[in-house]
Chain A
Amino acid sequence: MSDRPQNQLDDIQPDSPQDLSVSIPQKEWVMTAEALEELLLWLDADREKAAEVYEQIRGRLIRLFMYRGFVESDEMADETINRVTRKAPRLRANYKGDPFHYFRKVADYICMEYGKKKTAPLPEVLPDLGLEIDESEPIHNCLDRCINQKLSTDEHYMVIRYFEGDGHEKIVNRQKLAERLGITLNTLRIRIHRVCRILRKCVDKCVDSEMELHLS
């Protein structure tokens, strides 16, 4: 961490794995309500805003670990938060920097601990081109259902038009769609992404339910 600012952190360093293993075993520490309260107060004086920030940090930490190639991204995110929470009282008193920076630093240490463990090898069959779609798979029924439930007629039309075609045709379709809606391509891109995120959430939930039913 050669770029560590001089006026930050000082002796309030994110715990190195070695320190933690000697001083306080991580697995023995349990998040309490008081501890969580201390963390929230450090994040923001407004309790409600602090809770929002907490959720944002957790979600982004999960993504961070995912993009680093880690499988246990949820677990690692929670561990990062736990470690920061343990230091919250001291951070509240002395830390003057960006909390997100501190979280990231702790996430670095977590990554070192977990040692870039990609738990499973690549599956034998990957979603790839050329493979025929098996419509019997739950994901297709779930997608149909979720589109009907979650999307309006206009949103449905927008999604179809946005992803329709190949290559240059797709680009032209998107430009025409943006003109029709009276918005820029970037705005269209953002709208489509948000619609797809809603669909994705619905589909994941649906697929998980189907799998549970199937297993039971």
Chain B
Amino acid sequence: MPKMSRNINDSDSIKQYLLGELSGDELEAVERRMLSDADYYEQVLIADDELMHEFVNNELSDSDRAQFKKHALSVPQRRRGVKFVQALDHYVQKNAAQNVVPMEPVVVQPSWGEVLVAFFRRPAVGFACSVALLITLAPILWLLRENQRLRKELAQAPSQQALQEELRVAREQNRTLSEEIGRKQDLLAQRDRELLQLKAHEQGIDRTIPPSPESNTSLEIFPIALGMVREGGNGNKVSFRPDAKRIRLDIDLAANDFKMYRVALKRNGVERSIWSGPAEHVIVEPAKITLPVIVPTSILTRAEYEIDVRGIKSSRESEHVDTYYFRVP
């Protein structure tokens, strides 16, 4: 009876092939596939092993068993296969009975990738990684922001050359302003002298405007120290030649805090000054600061005198510096 065509992929076909029950087209189909298809070939080998196990364990039907004996066991290599299966079966029964089988579950060694994935999936690890990431990222972000800010500032900041140029211009302006201030102060001093001259003229007193410091060389100079008592003792004594028209009083300053000074002369404790004038050319020496004041001798008689020194601020306000005393014997 011809065999009905069947799907060679099913296990029954392979089993029938192994039992030698296929022929014709079915046989050719199985053999062609077995030769050319690696997976199918492996299926055939597996089916062969299972057939042998079924034979050894008496799991085949009577007809299959008979066919197996007749077809498969006629080949020595397949007989060896059956012997092997029998020995293996015996080994399994012996070892299972003796409980030599490890009781721990079989661990299929995962790949390195699977190990890493499983490790990082743990909640504790995930949390720790998140915290570590935050701790690492925070300073990095801060540094990036600072870097950006500094770069911006640097871009906006002028170059060193520009700064130097700016400084040079500022110094130049400062020098110009200083010169201007000096000129203005000279002008003020000039105006003061003129005013004094006018007053003196009104009072009928021939007051000589103190000459500029350049013409002081022939004048008698009298040092006026601070702290000398008003009366008697060794106070500042000014005794000048009868023919002297002017004298120079070198007032000993404790400090030179002002650019310009003004002195007022008083006699015998009278509040009203008899003379006043500017003094600006301070002489600074290593151990001494001297404010020279040119005074006309015409106003000086035998008496006790008081010199009131005032510093002139840039705001034109004056501030009392010190009071000095001298007498004309």
| A contacts, CB < 8 Å to B | 3, 56-57, 60-61, 63-64, 66-71, 73, 98, 100-101, 103-104, 107, 118, 120, 122-123, 126-127, 129, 133, 137, 139-140, 143-144, 147, 153-154, 157-161, 163-164, 166-167, 177, 180-183, 189-190, 193, 196-197, 199-200, 203-204
* Contact between B106 and A71, CB atoms less than 8 A apart: no
B74 within 8 A of A: yes
Q: In the complex the two chains form, is A127's CB within 8 Å of B75's CB?
A: no
- Given A3-B28, A66-B78: 18 more A-B contacts, CB < 8 Å: A3-B25, A63-B34, A64-B34, A67-B17, A68-B20, A98-B36, A100-B32, A103-B35, A104-B31, A118-B75, A126-B73, A133-B86, A143-B88, A160-B96, A163-B89, A164-B92, A181-B108, A203-B87
- Secondary structure of the B contact surface, majority rule: helix
Contacts of B91 in A (CB 8 A): 140, 143-144, 147
Q: Which residues on B sit within 8 Å (CB–CB) of A153?
A: 102
Q: Are A127 and B101 in contact (CB under 8 A)?
A: no
The residue among B48, B49, B106 with the most chain A CB atoms within 10 A of its own CB is B106
Which residues of the partner chain B approach A64 to less than 8 Å between Cβ atoms? 31, 34-35
Among A100, A123, A180, contact of B106 (Cβ-Cβ < 8 Å): A180
Are the C-beta atoms of A56 and B38 separated by less than 8 Å? Answer: yes
Cβ distance A82 to chain B, nearest Cβ, rounded Å: 17
A204-B101 contact given A60-B41, A100-B36, A158-B106, CB 8 Å threshold: no
- Chain B residue total in the interface (Cβ 8 A): 55
Query: B191 near A: Cβ within 8 Å?
Result: no
Q: Interface on chain A toward B: helix, strand, loop, or mixed SS?
A: helix
Q: Please give the residue numbers on chain B whose beta carbons come within 8 Å of chain A beta carbons, in ascending order.
A: 17-18, 20, 25, 28, 31-32, 34-36, 38, 41-42, 44-46, 48-49, 53, 56-59, 69-71, 73-84, 86-93, 95-96, 101-102, 105-109
Determine whether the beta carbon of A127 is less than 8 Å from that of B82.
yes
Question: Which residues of chain A have C-beta atoms less than 8 A from B59's C-beta?
Answer: 167
Contact for B74 among A122, A139, A189, CB less than 8 A? A122
Contact A180 B46 (CB under 8 A): no
Smallest Cβ-Cβ distance to B46: which chain A residue: A193
Tell me the nearest residue of chain B to A2, going by C-beta: B25
